Amino acid sequence: MVYQTTDVQYVIANNNLWASPLDQQLRTTLVANLSQQLPGWVVSSQPLGSEQDTLNVAVNGFHGRYDGRVIVSGEWLLKHQGQLIKRPFNIVLRQEQDGYDAMVKTLAQAWSQEAAAIASELNRLP
């Protein structure tokens, strides 16, 4: 976990207690959210074959900031019927309360919001 203390400085948290690595939690949550929001789609974190659509998500920012906001940013790339669709994302949300717990909840809210945005885009595909 990283916390932005000024416009140019970041601090890495040393004593966070996660149930599993953050990348694994983000992947699991994304798969669960997309599965729920994309009825009729098979969503898996494992490749299902070369003929299937493939979504790759790169998270570049996932942290709290000194001004009480959280940042979730990155980009996703979808291979769909031979085409590549690439979209950046940058979500900035204000924490409702101070503290680490509020930051984690707001980060989860932002990640869920991005999952909904991805699902919305995928639902518009032919």
Looking at this protein, which amino acid is placed at residue 3?
Y
pLDDT of the residue at 75: 98
Q: What is the pLDDT of residue 1?
A: 65
Phi-psi region of 82 (alpha: psi -120 to 50; beta: other; left: phi over 0): left
pLDDT at 9: 76
CATH number of the domain where residue 17 is located: 3.40.50.10610
Longest dimension (CA), the chain: 47
The per-residue pLDDT string of the chain (126 residues; one tens digit each, 9 = 90 and over) reads 666 777 767 777 665 555 678 888 899 999 999 999 999 888 999 877 777 889 999 999 999 998 999 999 999 999 998 899 999 999 999 999 998 889 989 999 999 999 999 999 999 988
CA distance 124 to 105: 29
Q: Which domain holds residue 60?
A: 2-123
User: What is the number of structural domains in the chain?
Assistant: 1
Do 63 and 3 touch, CB atoms closer than 8 A? yes
